[in-house]
Amino acid sequence: MEEEKIERIKEGFWPKVKKVAGKVPFLPDAIALYYAMLDPDTPLKAKLTIAGALAYFLTPFDAIPDIFFGAGYIDDAGVVAAVLTAASIYVKEEHKKKAKDFLNSGQIDCKETPDK
């Protein structure tokens, strides 16, 4: 069950990132959380907490629907910030660097994702 949740996040994460790139300021944090979720050193409980936050980010229908750009991602930002704080000991500098490197790499416009 837990692995299925993480697999669903992996399937939908990069398309969402590419859709919202340049539109949401918390994107580097969301990507760092994603990499922390994939890290084998991250405990399962932390992975599931991160997966829950990322699932909320991926879902277009939440407390403030994402179709309302500007306001639509405020709740997502709050969830990502809360989980980033709660799981901060598992979000390593290497995760943050990989997020920054991805955003600076130009891969946003590529069909391939970093997981491929």
Q: pLDDT tens digit string along 27-79?
A: 999 999 999 999 999 999 999 999 999 999 988 765 555 555 555 678 888 99
Q: To 10 degrees, the CA torsion angle through 48, 50, 95, 4?
A: 50
What are the residue ranges spanned by the domains of the chain?
1-62+73-105
pLDDT category of residue 24 using cuts at 50, 70 and 90: confident
Q: What is the DSSP string of 82-104?
A: HHHHHTGGGS-HHHHHHHHHHHH
Amino acid at 86: A
Q: Is 60 exposed, middle or buried (0-12, 13-18, 19+ CB in 10 A)?
A: exposed
The pTM of this model reads: 0.85
Mean residue pLDDT of the chain comes to 86
Give the per-residue pLDDT at 49. Answer: 95
The token pair at 94 is 């290497």
Helices and strands of the chain, counted as H and E runs: 5, 0
Six token digits for residue 57: 């980010």
Residue 112: alpha-carbon gap to chain centroid: 17
Q: Specify the pLDDT at position 1.
A: 66
